[in-house]
């Protein structure tokens, strides 16, 4: 899911997002939100040139990273999505408080409504199962935060039975996938995190 968020309509991300190499990211003078395009090679967050250089000093310059325009999130939710339907949702952030699980039923219902509306209103290609993080941007409204592999995301207070079904859907051997799902092979996505062939990592 290397560039999935960058290809979403502006109406549902409400900020500039793009992928570039770490080398080019280190040339950006303004403060911005930076995260690895895949995996947890360094902590996602707001960086300037100096802090990003320190956080990524042992990483290759051809590694791809995601750059996002900084915004203020007032609430965030995690959704487990199976075949473009949200099967379970949990809050995890509210008004600058991490690990917030006490959203009301109406808040969770509204989050689920927004998540499902993305796939109902837009023709968006997705893997069979994944997590979709959504939230509310101050003065802007609902937007997509990011997406991740279902098997690599915390469940917070999502329904564990429904999460298990999502994990099983995300863990089918690639040989059993239909042709349209082969592009989501985790191995291929990992190798694509570098802008040059994987052998360019030799020596790191």
At residue 97, the pLDDT reads: 66
pLDDT at residue 195, as a whole number: 59
**Going from the N-terminus, what domains does the chain have, and what CATH number goes with each?**
5-68 (3.30.1490), 73-171 (3.30.470)
Statement: residue 200 has pLDDT above 50: no
So what's the pLDDT on residue 201? Answer: 36
Average pLDDT of the residues in 130-142 = 97
Average pLDDT over residues 131-135: 97
**For the whole model, what pTM was predicted?**
0.87
pLDDT at 185: 72
Kindly tell me the sign of the dihedral angle through the C-alpha atoms of 124, 128, 153, 20. Answer: negative
In what side-by-side order are the strands of the sheet with 129-137?
97-98, 85-94, 73-82, 129-137, 141-148
pLDDT score of 199: 37
Average the pLDDT over 45-65 and give the result: 95
Residue 190 confidence (pLDDT): 57
Q: Using one digit for the tens of pLDDT, what is the confidence trace for 57-69?
A: 999 999 999 999 9
In this prediction, residue 181 has a pLDDT band, given cuts at 50, 70 and 90, of: confident
């Amino acid at each position: 899911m290397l560039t999935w968020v960058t290809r979403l309509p502006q109406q549902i991300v409400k900020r500039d997002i793009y992928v570039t190499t770490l080398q080019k990211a280190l040339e950006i003078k303004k403060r911005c939100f930076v995260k690895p395009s895949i995996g947890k090679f360094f902590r996602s967050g707001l960086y300037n040139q100096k802090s990003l250089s320190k956080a990524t000093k042992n990483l290759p310059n051809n590694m791809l990273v995601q750059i996002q325009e900084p915004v203020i999130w007032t609430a965030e939710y995690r959704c487990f999505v199976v075949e473009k339907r949200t099967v379970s949702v949990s809050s995890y952030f509210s008004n600058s408080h991490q690990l917030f699980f006490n959203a009301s039923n109406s808040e969770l219902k509204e989050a689920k409504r927004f998540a499902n509306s993305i796939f109902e209103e837009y023709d968006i290609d997705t893997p069979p199962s994944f997590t979709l993080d959504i939230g509310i941007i101050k003065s802007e409204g609902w937007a997509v935060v990011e997406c991740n592999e279902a098997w690599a995301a915390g469940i917070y207070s999502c329904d564990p039975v429904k999460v298990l079904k999502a994990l099983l859907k995300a863990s089918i051997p690639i040989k059993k996938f239909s042709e349209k799902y082969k592009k989501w092979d985790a191995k291929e996505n990992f190798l694509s995190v570098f802008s040059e062939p994987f052998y360019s990592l030799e020596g790191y």
